[in-house]
Structure 1
Amino acid sequence: MKRRYQSLTTVLLITVLGIFFSRCTEPEMDDDFAAGAPPSIGEWTGSEEIASSDLVAYWSFDGDAKDAQGNVTGERINGDGTFAAGRKGQAYKGAANAFISYDNPGSVAALTSFTVSFWVNTPKHSGGAQGIYALTRADGSFWGNFQVILEGNTSSSNKMQMKLHFEKNSTPPVINIEHWIDPPESVRPDNMYGAWRHITYTYDEQTSKAAMYANGQAVDIGTAADRKSGAGDAGLGALTFKDAARFVIGGFQNHLGAPYGGLEPWMLNYTGMLDEMRIYKKALSAQEISALYQLERQGR
């Protein structure tokens, strides 16, 4: 009996140790992970490590509207914009009369390629399009140089229609100065309302291709078949923005008044929450975007 008892004890000890060591070596990829050294995602352990030398603007919205990189300056919160619990720390909370204006767009005005990445938490809205951000044109042009808008949704679908607009203004002018990324309804990201969702857009001057990602996954935005209705190949090369004067978050350039003209009825302020907004001067890779999403989702 004694010999059998010792044998069973040995088996149990080996089993427990095996489970313990196997758990220690498993990668922890959930939102919650044990205290101690954080797990790496790819080669990164924190979102600030990703393409840090190419980051030109970063808004954490932790109680203020400052660009932590110090490039976009002269911030002013207009209307009833506030701050609330965000995806990471605090977030900007918009309102029907609120937007943030910046007197100087800094390095954002000189982008030739870009990545823009941000988290949104928003209910459906009706009546028009809400402005997420805009790089203005001081010549009073109807559209800004570089902006994202969120269209209204009164349907039962939870697919989100978000549009990216950017321009190339050069001499001599290119044929397709304006370019829009607006995927058709069939491929728009689903389940996008009422919770934190991550959006990323890129444009690479080396390939002239734009891309969109939702929650770290690429969205199929098409090819060069139609360069003004959501295709990925813009055919523009290095971008050149024109008369970039100011920057807006949570609205349109028209919210600034002259010389942009009055607001049209469909131009709405952003009323949801916005967090961890980053602008890079290069197109991040799919691996970098996936890691950025996962790391920020884990609050790091």
Structure 2
Amino acid sequence: MKTNLSYIVSALALSFAVSSCTKKFDPSSYAPALNIGGYSNSKQVASANLIAQWSFDDSTIDSVSKTVGTPTGTSFSAGVKGKALQVAANGYVVSNTPTDVQNLKSFTTMLWFKSDLNTAATGLIDIANSAAGWGNLTIFLENGGDATKGLIKFHINSNSKEAWSELYTVPNPWKKWNHLALSYNQTTSDFTLYLNGSKIGKALNVPNYGPITFQNATKMVFGTLQFQTTPSLSTTAGKESWAGSLIGQLDEVKIFNKALTVDEISSITKLEGRGK
């Protein structure tokens, strides 16, 4: 049987044309839209209550108030989302405290941290009180951790009424990202601590603590405690040998003017962990 050459050529040309116009199968295009707690992006969660945010994407600016922080011994490196603040020994960022943060009544403060094993008390965020040794709102890694655990502690000063948490253990936190959130509800006087989106427990109840009232709160610092800066942000305290700077990274520091729910905090943690 003779082969019709023109028929073969035409068939090959048609096959090539069809294959050229056929879009390559992309499984991701058929995947359902991301939905975590009813959100597809962390920016959607309690957006009306977000009063300050430091994403540290090559910047020390609060994206809400546009307040600019002043860095000392810091740089930027890969973070949970985009870039993160990289803090070295004796490093930190000092900023004016946004007005809405100074006037908090209830709040949620959250952040991601990645740290080497700390040998000194290490400040993560500290809303300073210039007339006292300790700040108005201090979240820090306490000394006394070891290779298998870190120790989280926080301190609040409201209208000269101090509240100290107990120590909370973070299993194997070193050299990896951990999400930390602290909320306060002025109606119930409850402080609640969350680690990686889960509630550790009611961290502290101070009966009749009421609305937060910070004192002398015009400055704040990231990456160390208020008395470890040069000059000290406190007029009554200076550097201590048992305290130091974070040797590691901070990312996505956010402050809300309400006590977020566990579902809201969990959604933010999961979405940011996916870069959303």
The reply to whether residue 206 of structure 1 matches residue 187 of structure 2 is yes
| TM-score of the superposed pair, with normalisation by structure 1 | 0.77
The one-letter code sitting in structure 1 at the alignment partner of 2:266 is S
Distance 1:183 1:151, change over 3 A: closer
Aligned to 1:167: 157
Alignment root-mean-square deviation, CA: 2.0
Aligned to 1:246: 219
Encode CA deviations 1:198-237: one digit per residue, 9 max, x unaligned: 111100001111101111111034xxxxxxxx53445411
The one-letter code sitting in structure 2 at the alignment partner of 1:214 is L
The whole-number CA distance in structure 2 between the counterparts of 1:214 and 1:266 is: 25
| TM-score of the superposed pair, with normalisation by structure 2 | 0.83
SS at match of 2:171: coil
- Count of matched residue positions in the alignment of Structure 1 and Structure 2: 246
The reply to whether residue 90 of structure 1 matches residue 94 of structure 2 is no
**What are the equivalent positions in structure 2 for 1:1-300 lying under 5 Å apart?**
34-35=28-29, 38-70=33-65, 73-78=67-72, 80-126=73-119, 128-138=120-130, 140-153=131-144, 155-158=146-149, 160-169=150-159, 177-183=161-167, 188-221=169-202, 231-233=204-206, 235-254=208-227, 255=229, 256-257=231-232, 259-300=235-276
Distance 1:265 1:105, change over 3 A: farther
Distance 1:91 1:260, change over 3 A: farther
CA contact (8 A) 2:186 2:209 kept: yes
The whole-number CA distance in structure 1 between the counterparts of 2:236 and 2:28 is: 52
Encode CA deviations 1:151-202: one digit per residue, 9 max, x unaligned: 23453432x2111111220xxx7xxx11122345xxx231322211111110
Q: Sequence identity, in percent?
A: 30
The whole-number CA distance in structure 2 between the counterparts of 1:34 and 1:120 is: 31
SS at match of 1:194: coil
Structure 1 unaligned blocks of 5 or more: 1-32, 222-229
The one-letter code sitting in structure 2 at the alignment partner of 1:240 is T
The answer to which structure has the higher strand fraction is 2
Distance 1:198 1:104, change over 3 A: closer
User: After alignment, is 202-211 or 145-154 more displaced?
Assistant: 145-154
SS at match of 1:124: coil
Encode CA deviations 1:80-128: one digit per residue, 9 max, x unaligned: 20000001100001011211011343211111111011111112121x2
SS at match of 1:200: strand
CA contact (8 A) 1:124 1:153 kept: no
Structure 2 unaligned blocks of 5 or more: 1-26
User: After alignment, is 160-169 or 272-281 more displaced?
Assistant: 160-169
SS at match of 2:88: coil
Distance 1:49 1:234, change over 3 A: farther
Q: Whose Rg is larger? A: 2
